[in-house]
Amino acid sequence: MAKSFLFSPSHCKQLKFGVASFDILSDFLIHLNIRNKDKLSNLSKYSGSFKDKRLIECVFVVTEELRLDPLVGYHAVELLERFMIKHLEDLFSTTHIPAGVAVAQNGNYEDLVYEKLRETFHLILLSCVQLASKLSLHSSAVDNNTAVQFLYSMGHSISKQSIMDSELMVLKTLDFKLSAPNPLTYVEILLEVLGHNDSSIPVELLHLVSRQVLLFTCLERTAIYHSLLVATTQCQSPTDEQRKAFVSVTEDCMLLGVGVIAVGAYILNFSNWEKVLEELSHMTGISAKSIRDFTDVTLMHVTMKDSPRAT
Question: How many structural domains compose the chain?
Answer: 2
In this predicted structure, what is the pLDDT of residue 22?
78
CA 161 to chain centre: 29
Q: Quick one: 209 and 227 in the same domain?
A: yes
Same domain, 263 and 204: yes
* pLDDT of 103 strictly over 90: no
Q: Are residues 157 and 271 in the same domain?
A: no
- Indicate the residue among 111, 142, 173 that finishes a domain: 173
Residue where a domain stops, chosen among 173, 200, 225 = 173
Residue 5 belongs to a domain: no
Same domain for 256 and 159?
Answer: no
The CATH number assigned to the domain holding 119 equals 1.10.472.10
Residues 160 and 91 in one domain: yes
Q: What is the mean pLDDT of residues 198-217?
A: 93
Of 141, 173, 205, which residue is a domain's last? 173
- Residue 159: inside a domain, yes or no? yes
Q: Tell whether 128 and 80 lie within a shared domain.
A: yes
Whether residue 151 is contained in a domain is answered as yes
Q: In terms of domains, do 160 and 204 share one? A: no
Tell which residue, 24, 18, 142, 9, has the closest CA to residue 75. Answer: 142
The answer to whether 299 and 266 have CB atoms below 8 angstroms apart is yes
Is residue 172 scored above 90 in pLDDT?
A: yes
Residue 21 lies in a domain: no
Domain match, 168 and 192 both: no
Is 60 part of any domain? yes
- The residue count of the chain comes to 311
Q: How far is CA 283 from CA 55, 250, 251, 286, in A?
A: 32, 20, 19, 8
* pLDDT at res. 18: 64
As a whole number, mean pLDDT of residues 282-309 equals 85
With 60 as the cut, is the pLDDT of residue 165 above it? yes
Question: How far is Cα 307 from Cα 311, in angstroms, rounded to an integer?
Answer: 9
Q: Is residue 15 part of a domain?
A: no
- Residue 110 or residue 62, greater confidence: 62
Residue 66: name the closest of 154, 1, 186 by CA. Answer: 154
What mean pLDDT do residues 35-44 have?
A: 91
Compare 14 and 279 and report the one with higher pLDDT: 279
> Which structural domain, as residue segments, surrounds residue 214?
183-303
Query: How would residue 308 be classed by pLDDT, with cut points 50, 70 and 90?
Result: very low
Distance of CA 104 to the CA centre of its chain: 37
Give domain status of residue 311, yes or no.
no
Q: What is the pLDDT of residue 269?
A: 81
Query: Quick one: 137 and 202 in the same domain?
Result: no
pLDDT of 307: 42
Residues 190 and 160 in one domain: no
Q: Are residues 232 and 168 in the same domain?
A: no
- Sequence-ordered list of residues with C-beta below 8 angstroms from that of 266, at least 6 positions apart, any chain: 273, 295, 299, 309
31 within a domain of the structure (yes/no): no
Average pLDDT in the 244-261 region? 95
Reported pTM: 0.86
199 & 142 share domain? no
The contacts of residue 58 (CB under 8 Å, 6+ apart) are 1, 125
Output phi, psi for 184, to 5 deg.
Answer: -65, -35
What pLDDT is recorded for position 32?
A: 92
Q: Are 281 and 274 in contact (CB under 8 A)?
A: no
